[in-house]
Structure 1
Amino acid sequence: MFKKNSEPLIFILLFLGFINPVTAQQNIKVDVSPTVKKYIKGHSELQREKYFNLAARSGELDKNLNPEQFNRYMHDLDMTVGRKLFVVYSESRWGNGYREDATRPGFMDTTYFVSQKAPNDNGLEEYINLWGENEKVAAHDGHNAYPDFIDKYIKDGSTESFPENADAAAEIAAYTLKYAYSDFQRPKYFELVNEPDWRVWSDQRFIDWHTKTHQKFKAMSIPTEVGGPCFSVGYFYKNDFDAMKSIRDFMDATNFQLDFYSFHIYDYMKWSDDANDFVGRVSSGLPEEAVFDALAAHSKNKYGQEFTYVSSEHGGYVSDKTNLETAQNALADQYFPGSGFLHEMEKRSISNFIMVNSAITNTLVFMNHPHVVKKSVPFILLESAGWDPKYYSSLLVKENFDKNSNVWHEAKLGYFYEFFKDVKGHRVHSVCNDNDIQQISLVDGNRLIMIFHNQSNTGGLLDLNVKIWDNNIQQVTTRRLGRQNDFRPYFSEETSSSLSDFSIDGQESVVVFVDYEKAVEQRSEIEVIPYYSSEVATQFTGAKEFTVAVENPTTVQSAELRIGLARDASESKEMLVELNGTTLNLPVEDCAGRLTNENEYGSMRSIEIDPALLKTNNAVKISFTDGKQGGIGAVVIRAATLKSGIPLSAKTIQKGTFKLFPNPAQEQLTIESGDSGKVSIVTMDGRAIKVQQLFKGQNQLDLRGFKNGSYIAHAQFENDSISERFNVIN
């Protein structure tokens, strides 16, 4: 771990080029409450199968992995599968089941199709033991997938054909998913076409194709969820959120009846000599948070529930192959000259970092929306030897890029899975005061896990305030993934015996594992509920007031105000915000430059707010300081209420001011207090069963009639509150 007293180590690493120099060092305050279990709309436990997937299915793994690789990937790294490419397309091109029904021109002969299919799970027993009844992959079909006997149309200027007869197409997809797959291999999620041509997005035939396929699946009791439209982009903040109209219209045209709605989220980068860096359209992270909030606000306002989402691809890459090759060759010549296949793999690691860095940023957003995200798959293929082994993101690469070679090499895309290794458990309450830092905290037994990612190029010092009660630290393990000065990735892991503040570099990801002597005890549970503004994807000039209704504001324990914004690239990023008449400080994030491309800027500003400011109807006034037009995706208040246990305002024990003895107690407990107030005895499920006045000095508490077990003494004073646990043994 890079502690404040580790200057010699940092100097050596800087000198060798293993880390980038931290510029404009700043203090980043982080408060973590390991004993406070957090739910987001009912979701607390981290479901790894949602996030840490290969863009592959079990059949590909069985075909390509040797036993050593299988154990490492599936057991050590706890990887799961995530994507299948082609469903109808595969059967049309290589199958034997599609033929026209002589009695129903334009439709498939379903009886014949069923007679040709006998799916099995031969060779997949180990995967079935790992993942149970279904491998839970997302499948998206190919372009021009449907057989020639079905009527099709092509929009002017496009090269893609789409089914004209939605009923016939729905039947083909339904029978294929029902009878061509075993229960284990049947995709859990199905997108009708991968990244369809933009010309068809609003075509009624395209809409009908989705709704009728969804209806057919339900009628035939197929346990595959149907969604779409699998847009190729996710930057709906474009043009001051006017671009959100495309997916919002699709939701409305399908009457919000699909099982999920989908789009791919990529950072599209290119090398810039002027910037001496990779720059471009960054849609991951803060802009993505703004998009998710805006789409959830639209569906919540109109349909009474947030939309649900599947990402069958996400990540980041350099979209211009020539630009990428030129940059990689130039950087290699400057920093690590050489030749041969392994040198080529080192050059490829430059683009590997772009993919992994973006995938981590996306994944942390997905983890922050567990009630919305059903499945996310980084575009990391297992292998692409028969496709394009040099450009596409493949975990395994054949030696010399020769598809006939039997020797595989692992690309540094594996760092994505290495970074998230052993990340599991339930969410706990944590707050960071820096909008550039993505952070999530979890507890798994006796382990606290803190994940951080810096979206900016500006580093800083993480000032950690971990609120833990009597539980000693056994070991601290710090894992880092970042970018060297030569643009290749670095990955490191080290241990220490104590937890202290540490640095985080620009575009660096850090996960900290704190192992305690005993399990972290849950003292409280909070439920986080997002409340959305009634105004969504709004453009205005100067200032505008938004309204956010919050249920039972007096019961809110903590709250976060979130504002998605977008502006023209040439306009100011400054804005003024007032909540119910109180001015809030929402400074421009350090990563704003990275989030600004040639045309526009998109982001999300957030701040922890005092719950006392909240009302039933909250007025949020937003002003653009330059008086010009801008767009707001949605204004959201994430409010946390207490489910059980001790209020968040309760503080850690202050020795010498509040003491309980004996502990464990029997018929009587003595409370020694440094001040007067009142004390509540609270059960572990949050019920106050006894309240009495508390005087300065010693107080006697009668415990006769108390059942054996654990209780909390929660003392309230004029300007403070303190809590401590004690046991009763009679």
Structure 2
Amino acid sequence: MYSKITVILFFSFVSLASFSQEAKVTIDLSMQKFIGAESELKREKYFNIHSSFSSWDLASHADVLFDQLDINFGRTFGGPSPFQKSKTQVPKPSEAKARGINTAKHWKNAPLFKKYKTNDLIITDHPANAFQLNMDYEKIAAYNVEYLKNAFPIMPKYYEVMNEPFVHSKDYVKTWAETDAVILEMTKLHKVIADKIHAEIPDIMVGGYSSAWPEVDRKNFDHWNTRMKSFMDTAGESMKFFATHLYDGRNVTGNYNYRSGSNSEAILDLIETYSYKKWGIVKPHLISEYGYTSKGLLGKPHSPELNGVCLKSYNNILMSLLDKPDRLLKSIPFIVGEGNWFYKDKKKNPDGHPYPWVIVKKNKDGVKEFTDLKKFYELWKGVSGKRVDVISSNPDIQVNAFIQEKKAYIALNNLHDKALNTTLAFLRKSKEYIQSSTLRRLYTTDAGIPKLVYFTDYDFTKDIVLKSGETVILECNLTETPLKSKITENNYYSKTYLQKVEAKKTIQFTIDNVTTGKKGRAAIKMGIGRAHDLSKKPQIVINGKPVEVPENWAGYDQKSREQFFGVINIPFDIRHTIKGENKIDITFPDTGGHVSSVILNIEKIE
């Protein structure tokens, strides 16, 4: 039974580092912020459910979920599945067409279709239905194209060829030693399918590889070299996006750990940097699943405590992804509909319990009710608008802020395992625009039960004490929309990456084509993978100017992992940057590990 005790044991096992217990959040409601060319919060990128408008389960809840809470559809296992019936032969395109026509009827007849249909949807397949060894990949691609042309009344925008394929590579061979060959073949299939689909169906974007376990730093980055790097080298040219699953806990395999915070930042930064190295552009991410998972959760009674753990992970990861609108296509918290298929699974669920990640559960008496996962969408209800400038003095307090007409939404999230006293400081008379405010707080009680509470007429001039893992949204009613100035954030990449660290040996990163200014902020985002007893505070010099490296980063100390792998954000004076070529020198006092990526982040006031 998944109980509160299990949750508490897990959190004590990966207890967070005790850094500063205070934070200052500075807000300028008059300054519109752009990240790349993006300022408007596109809810379809972030506030999704792992389901589609073909779902019959959710029809009776549509008014609440899709009208009131403005939830968008995210992903469905509705791909071509060429090996759904036979594992030994590729069916003919004529069969794909016939099956596709029948599928299209199912979509059109679904009760949600008429009102909620959208092309902003991901389709994928289970690996066993999408791939078999020693098959003709051109024939598979031909089947898939013919199916896609006929199966969808409205063409989905995104197609992941397989869901989490590489962790299933052992299903096709007898030994783990043989799995590298299987992974290569799966990768080749991605490329063949992508090339054919992009040529014949330009409205759909194909990508992969839906990494279930992005433990890229494992065995001195051997996991990176044999998984994502190999995939990018072989199929990346044909991919429109790179898909990754980010889970706290343990997804399929690996140690219990947190991805949220510095670790997920390092994973995504490494993918971005290698993309820039290969093609001179950063191909976008598709985070088609994220949240919390672990072995042993299936077939257990419904657990509000588990819902509470999941809600923390959703918000931790969401707040990070909100900072990447210019290089993120879509992200989906792993929350599904009713999961009726799971009640019928006698092997994994002999006692007929709900699937752990459903938004609607069925009780033993057959009565259906919403689970606490609904609180994720209730917390973020209505949050929209143009991004405004907000910064936090403590990386454990994540921040985002938006203005929609005469409303402002200021979101704060606490990554720390302790409460943090947070002071709100409003710049350039921003405070004067606020007429009234409501504070939404989502947290878990001492017993692990998630609570969402609202405080109306909230005194926003007071400090907010954020509980461990708490997310708050301050919704402010404004006298007017005060946007008067502009700040633009851009990230600049070096083609040098994944450098071994040797004691007192300087590693130089050259970053070209930088646009900067005299007003604004600058930071170096340094990704490192090092043993826990090695230094995380090197000497850093940019363009001849020394930079102080902080001793804090987003999230926990990672002691539950084999080594530290994360991004340390290093702010410095923007006047140390120059237009064009910038040089960053990094020197560690000790030998071991790697600098995985170095990104120059510039926020220029215009």
Partner Cα distance (1:555, 1:589) in 2: 26
> Is the counterpart of residue 179 in structure 1 residue 160 in structure 2?
no
Superimposed CA distance per residue, residues 675-721 of structure 1 (whole angstroms, 9 cap, x where no aligned partner): xxxxxxxxxxxxxxxxxxxxxxxxxxxxxxxxxxxxxxxxxxxxxxx
Determine if contact 1:461/1:503 at 8 Å carries over to the other structure. Answer: yes
Any residues of structure 2 matched to 1:238-387 within 5 Å, and which? Answer: 238-239=218-219, 241-245=221-225, 246-268=227-249, 280-321=256-297, 345=302, 348-387=303-342
Identity %: 20
Counterpart for residue 584 of structure 2: 620
Determine if contact 1:265/1:313 at 8 Å carries over to the other structure. Answer: yes
Q: What's the offset of the Cα at 1:34? A: 1.5
Q: What's the offset of the Cα at 1:170? A: 0.5
**Structure ID, larger Rg:** 1
Determine if contact 1:238/1:602 at 8 Å carries over to the other structure. Answer: no
Partner Cα distance (1:379, 1:73) in 2: 15
Counterpart for residue 6 of structure 2: none
Counterpart for residue 413 of structure 1: 373
Determine if contact 2:261/2:554 at 8 Å carries over to the other structure. Answer: no
Partner Cα distance (1:114, 1:137) in 2: 21
Counterpart for residue 97 of structure 2: 114
SS at match of 1:319: coil
Determine if contact 2:539/2:586 at 8 Å carries over to the other structure. Answer: yes
> Is the counterpart of residue 429 in structure 1 residue 392 in structure 2?
no
Q: What's the offset of the Cα at 1:624? A: 3.8
Counterpart for residue 13 of structure 2: none
Q: What's the offset of the Cα at 1:123? A: 4.9
Counterpart for residue 486 of structure 2: 525
Determine if contact 2:354/2:362 at 8 Å carries over to the other structure. Answer: no
Q: 1:285 to 1:475 in 2, by over 3 A?
A: same
Residue type of the alignment partner of 2:72:
T
For residue 438 of structure 2, the aligned residue among 477, 482, 501 is 477
Q: 1:237 to 1:493 in 2, by over 3 A?
A: farther
For residue 466 of structure 1, the aligned residue among 426, 429, 448 is 426
Q: What's the offset of the Cα at 1:74? A: 0.8
SS at match of 1:355: helix
Q: What's the offset of the Cα at 1:391? A: 5.0
Q: 1:89 to 1:637 in 2, by over 3 A?
A: same
Counterpart for residue 162 of structure 2: 193
Partner Cα distance (1:472, 1:42) in 2: 27
Q: 1:127 to 1:641 in 2, by over 3 A?
A: farther
TM-score (structure 2 length as normaliser): 0.84
Q: What's the offset of the Cα at 1:260? A: 1.1
Q: What's the offset of the Cα at 1:417? A: 1.0
Q: 1:201 to 1:623 in 2, by over 3 A?
A: farther
For residue 140 of structure 2, the aligned residue among 164, 169, 182 is 169
Partner Cα distance (1:457, 1:114) in 2: 54
Q: What's the offset of the Cα at 1:367? A: 1.4
Partner Cα distance (1:238, 1:440) in 2: 32
Residue type of the alignment partner of 1:509:
T
Q: Which moved more, 1:422-431 or 1:552-561?
A: 552-561
Determine if contact 1:202/1:250 at 8 Å carries over to the other structure. Answer: no
Partner Cα distance (2:20, 2:499) in 1: 36
Determine if contact 1:166/1:205 at 8 Å carries over to the other structure. Answer: no
Determine if contact 2:528/2:567 at 8 Å carries over to the other structure. Answer: yes
Determine if contact 2:82/2:91 at 8 Å carries over to the other structure. Answer: no
Partner Cα distance (2:370, 2:401) in 1: 30
Aligned length: 556
Q: 1:558 to 1:591 in 2, by over 3 A?
A: closer
Which structure features the higher share of helix residues? 2
SS at match of 2:195: helix
> Is the counterpart of residue 138 in structure 1 residue 138 in structure 2?
no
SS at match of 1:38: strand
Superimposed CA distance per residue, residues 420-476 of structure 1 (whole angstroms, 9 cap, x where no aligned partner): 111111111222111112111111111221111111113222121122547442211
For residue 570 of structure 2, the aligned residue among 582, 590, 607 is 607
Residue type of the alignment partner of 2:570:
I
Q: What's the offset of the Cα at 1:172? A: 1.3
Partner Cα distance (1:145, 1:46) in 2: 36
Q: What's the offset of the Cα at 1:110? A: 2.8
Structure 1 unaligned blocks of 5 or more: 1-22, 101-105, 147-151, 153-160, 271-278, 326-343, 648-730
Residue type of the alignment partner of 2:456:
T
Residue type of the alignment partner of 1:314:
Y
Superimposed CA distance per residue, residues 106-125 of structure 1 (whole angstroms, 9 cap, x where no aligned partner): 65433454356252454557
Q: 1:633 to 1:128 in 2, by over 3 A?
A: farther
Partner Cα distance (1:557, 1:489) in 2: 39
Counterpart for residue 537 of structure 1: 498
Partner Cα distance (1:562, 1:110) in 2: 48
Q: What's the offset of the Cα at 1:235? A: 3.0
Q: 1:375 to 1:299 in 2, by over 3 A?
A: same
Q: What's the offset of the Cα at 1:617? A: 3.6
Which structure features the higher share of strand residues? 1
Q: What's the offset of the Cα at 1:573? A: 4.2
Q: 1:163 to 1:350 in 2, by over 3 A?
A: farther
> Is the counterpart of residue 504 in structure 1 residue 480 in structure 2?
no
Superimposed CA distance per residue, residues 614-670 of structure 1 (whole angstroms, 9 cap, x where no aligned partner): 134434333445x1312222111111234xxxx5xxxxxxxxxxxxxxxxxxxxxxx
Residue type of the alignment partner of 1:175:
E
Structure 2 unaligned blocks of 5 or more: 1-17, 170-178, 343-348
Q: 1:299 to 1:456 in 2, by over 3 A?
A: same
Q: What's the offset of the Cα at 1:365? A: 1.9
SS at match of 1:458: coil
Superimposed CA distance per residue, residues 566-615 of structure 1 (whole angstroms, 9 cap, x where no aligned partner): 2224545444434333231411348433x332412222111332111113
Partner Cα distance (1:479, 1:252) in 2: 46
Q: Which moved more, 1:494-503 or 1:568-577?
A: 568-577
TM-score (structure 1 length as normaliser): 0.71
Q: 1:434 to 1:461 in 2, by over 3 A?
A: same
SS at match of 2:214: coil
Determine if contact 1:318/1:351 at 8 Å carries over to the other structure. Answer: no
Residue type of the alignment partner of 1:308:
P
Q: What's the offset of the Cα at 1:565? A: 1.8
Determine if contact 1:229/1:263 at 8 Å carries over to the other structure. Answer: yes
Q: What's the offset of the Cα at 1:556? A: 5.6
Q: 1:253 to 1:90 in 2, by over 3 A?
A: closer
Q: 1:554 to 1:516 in 2, by over 3 A?
A: closer
For residue 80 of structure 1, the aligned residue among 72, 78, 84 is 72
Q: What's the offset of the Cα at 1:479? A: 1.2
Q: What's the offset of the Cα at 1:65? A: 3.3
Determine if contact 2:187/2:231 at 8 Å carries over to the other structure. Answer: yes
Counterpart for residue 216 of structure 2: 236
Superimposed CA distance per residue, residues 377-403 of structure 1 (whole angstroms, 9 cap, x where no aligned partner): 111111223315445311111112xxx
Any residues of structure 2 matched to 1:588-607 within 5 Å, and which? Answer: 588-589=552-553, 591-593=555-557, 595-607=558-570
For residue 494 of structure 1, the aligned residue among 445, 455, 466 is 455
> Is the counterpart of residue 225 in structure 1 residue 200 in structure 2?
no
Determine if contact 1:141/1:194 at 8 Å carries over to the other structure. Answer: yes
Counterpart for residue 194 of structure 2: 214
Q: What's the offset of the Cα at 1:49? A: 0.8
> Is the counterpart of residue 457 in structure 1 residue 411 in structure 2?
no
Q: What's the offset of the Cα at 1:549? A: 3.5
Determine if contact 2:19/2:552 at 8 Å carries over to the other structure. Answer: no
Residue type of the alignment partner of 2:389:
H
Counterpart for residue 516 of structure 1: 478
Partner Cα distance (1:546, 1:584) in 2: 17
Q: Which moved more, 1:246-255 or 1:554-563?
A: 554-563
Determine if contact 2:82/2:143 at 8 Å carries over to the other structure. Answer: no
For residue 359 of structure 2, the aligned residue among 385, 390, 395 is 395
Residue type of the alignment partner of 2:246:
I
SS at match of 1:481: strand
| CA RMSD in angstroms, aligned pairs only | 2.9
Q: What's the offset of the Cα at 1:203? A: 4.7
